[in-house]
Structure 1
Amino acid sequence: MTRQTFVPHAYQRLIIEHQSEIARSNVWAFMGAGKSVCTLTVLEARYRQGIEAMPTLIVAPLRVAQSTWPDECKKWAHLSAMEVVPIIGDVQQRSLQLRHDAPIFSINYENLPWLIDHFKHDGRSWPFGTVIADESTRLKSTRVSYQRSENGTLFLKRSGGSVRGRALAEVAHTKVRRWVNLTGTPAPNGLRDLWSQQWMVDAGKRLGRTYSAFEQRWFQSLPGDRGYHDIRPLPHAQEQIQAALADCTISLDAADWFDLQQPIVRRVYVDLPSHARRLYRDMEREMFIEIDKHEVEAVNAAARTMKALQLASGAIIVDEKSGWREVHDVKLQALDEIIEEAAGMPVLVAYHFKSDLARLQRTFPDGRVLDHEPQTIRDWNAGRIPVLFAHPASAGHGLNLQDGGNILVFFAHWWDLEQFQQIIERLGPMRQLQAGHRRPVFIYHILARDTIDEDVLLRLQTKRDVQDVLLDAMKRRTHASRSPA
């Protein structure tokens, strides 16, 4: 893969400067801001200049730890001397990966308790001088504090919350010198989500040394329905909390940096597993032979690509009697990470095949399908649907979906340009502005790398004929296969 030259945007320079100057901090930046490459840029400079000698640990959701951070390191020219080693797999694999001589390691949140115990029992001291908590809202439920015993000894008291958060708290201040929280939505469920994340930064210095102290200072308990009490922030809470965090936090809103009349488009690439890649290559080879042998019209060429597109999405229809069978789930994993990053903001997901919808509904049971019921649209626009699955053909002219959200993900792809444009328009930038929403529209394309997914997107962006795109793709793939390694 050819490495790219990183030319940071103005807001990315702010992130780099912030992390370079503040040892323990929060980076709250919008989805797709490039928080990963900015963080790696800071780390690269610290290692190159000899400022940092200890390895860095990146904690992230599974797929992000497994592929996103390592891939980001391989993508950019200025990071060529860097390596991110994922600590993923079974216990034996993780233990072996930890023995790599690398500057950066990544691990998923679920394996944090194992990692802490590993160094306790392995006889090795904790090696990581820096911790990067990617999607730091995963720590929001941690309840810990430092207390003094009767003889004056300081100890860590664990009073609730996630096991992984409590495990990480053991080293957060005693063994980690630098800490960075990365997230686009630091308080998806309200201000109370902030305490635990900030405790990892400063052990309660700014928001209260215990969660109880935090609540008592900035919240009030009011009678709610059915005898329950609602915990609500006091009128001055948000302003005071923001002021308390200002010296260690950078907060960037996409609306301040982008033209709101243009969507922010992001490509999310996934790699097919080896068995799926073999199936795909066989299918693509047969498809290209057929297209090359005969003069075909665009509509027929599109029809011949259906199975390749199905396979790129993760399932293939065997026949009418047998139905479809799943081949891989890498796109589902990618979508899960996008939804996770959205942190409660509704997400509209465009699918194409019935097998797509079945797999989406199985993986995201809280999702709903855009149907002909008017109530579905009302529920979406009222924010009551976290994930809405829509076939572009059913989301055409006249539907207003802009009040429900501003994030659209293309899970699967198809050649129809009008359908593509119409589903974008349902919550598009102009509709957002007309409805009074000062927020950008995010469009994500989940693409299986080196597959027909990329060819379809090229067709949609350039409006070229389907047959021309396919013939060009055939030539590129044939040339690549004949080129020396």
Structure 2
Amino acid sequence: MKYIPYDYQKYALDFILNQKAAGIFLDCGLGKTVITLTAIAELMHNRFEIARPLVIAPLRVAESIWDVEAKKWDHLKHLRIAKVLGSKEERIQALNTAADIYVINRENTKWLVDYYKNNWPFDMVVLDELSSFKSHKAQRFKALRKVRPFCKRVVGLTGTPAPNGLIDLWSQVYLLDSGKRLGKTITGYRERYFLPDKRNHNVIFTYKPKEGAEEAIYNKLSDICISMKSGDYLNIPERIDNIATVELPPKAMEQYRKLERDLLLPLLNGDVVAGSAAVLTNKLLQITGGAVYDEDGGVQVLHDEKLKALEDLVEAANGKPVLIYYAYRHEQKRIQKHLDCRVLDKPKDIADWNKGEIPVMLAHPASAGHGLNLQAGGSTIIWFGLPWSLELYSQANARIHRQGQRNTVVVHHLVARGTIDEDVMQVLKNKEAGQDALLNAVKARIYREVS
């Protein structure tokens, strides 16, 4: 297929070519992969500035996106892509294969750094998805930080750079510029731009930006980061969000309130114990779905109200394909028993879905949240269990609501009235507002610069 780039894609390409470090904050569907592959081909074969680029991506993206995208376009078909996946022996064999681009899943970042030690061979690194490096405590960040000085170029791709607030930006930006803009340490970044927010004595749980901090941070990033939103450049069908309210049975609501109040729910076959706020949150979310793990790891089923509501929504789709997102493994198993559905597990599932061969597909947002193209298979999403993470939520919805979608996208949320489900929906809305503030602040002024 002949590649005829849009003006915004030309702008993003030039930005990557002209920046040693580039943060490309593009909405899903704007073509991050083809833009980056085009930049790699130019830098490698025309400008001779790089010799061995590496792409670090979520597993499913590493398995089935980068090589497929390269084969799709005439100007990229010559690129040889080695997928550094599978067992240790298979990964080593791939690394020893002659190729233009090497692609590895992000979980093996530390292994790769340890494998090469002081002989890091990759002069360009593409981080797809950059926001998966948002934790400064994660092994993948610490490992990549060691070899950052050996990388001539770094490109970070994401649609959600600050899924939980501006505090997430430090480690991501550090991998781009080695600390030049936001500082060399997370402690210094916090002290300059944030104040303690929620805390328990000396333990600080969250931070809030100081007055003027947001604008200062945006200004710091404006020269190496660009942001583009799909609504500004693509004619994508409308997305309709629907909240399907579920009423929990009186007994289940009584159990919900008891756990919320006492942090303990005695049950016949095993007790449910919540020893911390985080555990309590997860347990309450599980109860709204109808089942909860007890202290021994067993599953205690409490009600079927969400399953009934789910069945109604699937039936109301009138045969149109439906993608269902679940939060916990026991939700997957209960849904499978209740509905005739298929679980997204292999690349073949993706292909069959896009062919229209799967009427109901079940997926976890963490496994389907980045890079997968599912828009050809359907336009209806149902959230059985809601995630706290804006990143998971936004990226999962974007598998369907993206370029190439021809129908109005309907996103249903099963929300139990008077429960934590309502709080999660509000939190996701609040985080989305904060995310938009960041994206708008660094948005590329395309209209003026390409005209």
- Normalized against structure 2, the TM-score is what? 0.58
The equivalent of 1:424 in structure 2 is 410
Give the Cα separation in 2 of the matches to 1:234 and 1:327.
45
State the shift of 1:223 in Å: 5.2
Q: Which position in structure 2 is the counterpart of 1:130?
A: 124
In 2, Cα distance between equivalents of 1:241 and 1:224: 24
The answer for the alignment partner of 2:37 in structure 1 is: 40
Matches within 5 A, 1:96-245: 96-120=93-117, 125-142=119-136, 161-173=137-149, 175-222=150-197, 229=204, 230-245=206-221
Moved over 3 A (4+): 222-230, 258-264, 321-328, 331-338, 348-351, 383-389, 404-411, 420-427
Match of 1:469 in 2: none
One-letter amino acid of the counterpart of residue 329, structure 1: D
CA contact (8 A) 2:41 2:76 kept: yes
Cα distance 1:117–1:84, how it changes in 2: closer, same or farther (>3 A)? same
Q: Which AA in structure 2 matches 1:244?
A: K
User: What residue identity is the alignment partner of 2:85?
Assistant: I
- After superposition, the Cα gap between the structure-2 partners of 1:423 and 1:223, relative to the gap in structure 1 and judged at 3 Å, is closer
8 Å Cα contact 1:85/1:97 also seen in 2: yes
In 2, are the aligned partners of 1:350 and 1:408 still within 8 Å (CA)?
no
Deviation per CA, 1:45-99: give whole Å up to 9, x if none: 1222142342100000001111101111111000021122110000100110111
- Aligned mates of 1:162, 1:251 — CA distance in 2: 26
Instruction: Note if contact 2:343-2:363 (Cα within 8 Å) is conserved in structure 1.
Output: no
Distance 2:343 2:189 in 1: 49
Q: For residues 254 and 176 of structure 1, do their structure 2 counterparts lie closer, same or farther at Cα, with a shift above 3 Å needed?
A: same
Kept in 2, the 8 Å contact 1:349–1:409? The answer is: no
- Between stretches 215-224 and 95-104, larger displacement belongs to 215-224
Distance change in 2, residues 1:54/1:333 (3 Å): farther
More deviation, 228-237/194-203: 228-237
Instruction: Give deviations 1:195-253, integer Å, cap 9, x for gaps.
Output: 00111111111001111110001001135589964410112111111100111111112
Q: Structure 1 pair 341/216, CA: closer, same or farther in 2 (3 Å)?
A: farther
CA distance in 1, matches of 2:190, 2:68: 40
CA 1:246–1:322 in structure 2 vs 1: closer, same or farther (change >3 Å)? Answer: closer
Structure 1 pair 132–334 and aligned structure 2 pair: CA distance change class (3 A): farther
Deviation at 1:323, TM superposition (A): 9.5
What secondary structure is seen at the aligned counterpart in 2 of 1:113?
Answer: helix
Amino acid paired to 1:97: A
Alignment of 1:56 with 2:53, yes or no, is yes
- Taking structure 1 as the reference length, the TM-score comes to 0.54
**Aligned pair in 2 of structure 1 residues 223, 78: CA closer, same or farther (>3 Å)?**
closer
Identity of aligned residues (%): 31
- CA shift for structure 1 position 180: 0.6
Paired amino acid for 1:67: S
Contact 2:61 2:370 in 1 (8 A): no
Q: Distance in 2 between matches of 1:425 and 1:198?
A: 32
Q: Give deviations 1:444-479, integer Å, cap 9, x for gaps.
A: xxxxxxxxxxxxxxxxxxxxxxxxxxxxxxxxxxxx
| Structure 1 residues 260 and 239: CA distance shift in structure 2, 3 A | farther
Counterpart of 1:329 in structure 2 is: 345
Q: Unpaired segments of 5 or more residues in structure 2?
A: 241-320, 323-336, 350-361, 373-377, 414-431, 434-451
Q: Which residue does 2:84 correspond to in 1?
A: 87
1:9 deviates by: 1.1
For residue 256 of structure 2, what is the aligned residue in structure 1? none
8 Å contact from structure 1 (residues 180, 201) kept in 2: yes
Judge conservation of contact 2:194–2:207 (CA < 8 Å) in 1.
yes
Cα offset for 1:408? 6.8
Q: Is the 8 A contact 2:56 2:126 kept in 1?
A: yes
1 CA distance for matches of 2:392 and 2:71? 34
* Greater radius of gyration (CA): 1
Within 5 Å, give how 1:300-319 maps onto structure 2.
none
Contact 1:221 1:232 in 2 (8 A): yes
1:68 counterpart residue number: 65
Matched-pair contact (CA < 8 Å) for 2:238–2:409: no
Residue in structure 1 matching 2:384, options 347, 357, 368:
368
Aligned CA distance change for structure 1 residues 53 and 6 (closer, same or farther; 3 Å): same
Distance in 1 between residues matched to 2:391 and 2:183, nearest whole Å: 35
Q: Which amino acid aligns with 2:130?
A: S
Write the deviation string for residues 126-155 of structure 1: whole angstroms up to 9, x where unpaired. Answer: 21110000111111112xxxxxxxxxxxxx
Contact 2:29-2:230 within 8 A present in 1 as well: no
Q: Which of 47-56 and 109-118 deviates more?
A: 47-56
- Measured after TM superposition, the shift of residue 263 of structure 1 is 6.2
Query: Is the partner of 2:222 in helix, strand or coil?
Result: helix
Give yes or no for contact 1:368–1:385 (8 Å, CA) kept in 2: no
SS in 2 for 1:247: coil
Offset, 1:260? 7.1
Aligned to 2:75: 78
User: For 1:300-345, what per-residue CA distance to the aligned partner results, in whole angstroms no more than 9, with x for missing partners?
Assistant: xxxxxxxxx99xxxxxxxxxx9997968723467964553479xxx
> Which residue of structure 2 aligns with residue 29 of structure 1?
26
* Residue of structure 2 aligned with 1:339, choices 366, 369, 375: 369
Distance (Å, rounded) in 2 between the aligned partners of 1:134 and 1:388: 14
Shift of 1:387: 11
Give the count of matched residue pairs: 301
Q: Secondary structure of 2:35's match?
A: helix
TM-superposed deviation, 1:385? 9.6
Counterpart amino acid of residue 241 in structure 1: I
Q: Give the aligned partner of residue 297 of structure 2.
A: none
**Residues 388 and 189 of structure 1: CA distance in aligned 2, closer, same or farther (over 3 Å):** closer
CA gap of 1:425–1:171, structure 2 versus 1, over 3 A, is closer
Give the distance between the partners of 1:77 and 1:409, measured in 2 at CA.
Answer: 25
Structure 1 residues 195 and 37, CA, compared in 2 at 3 Å: closer, same or farther?
same
Kept in 1, the 8 Å contact 2:57–2:127? The answer is yes
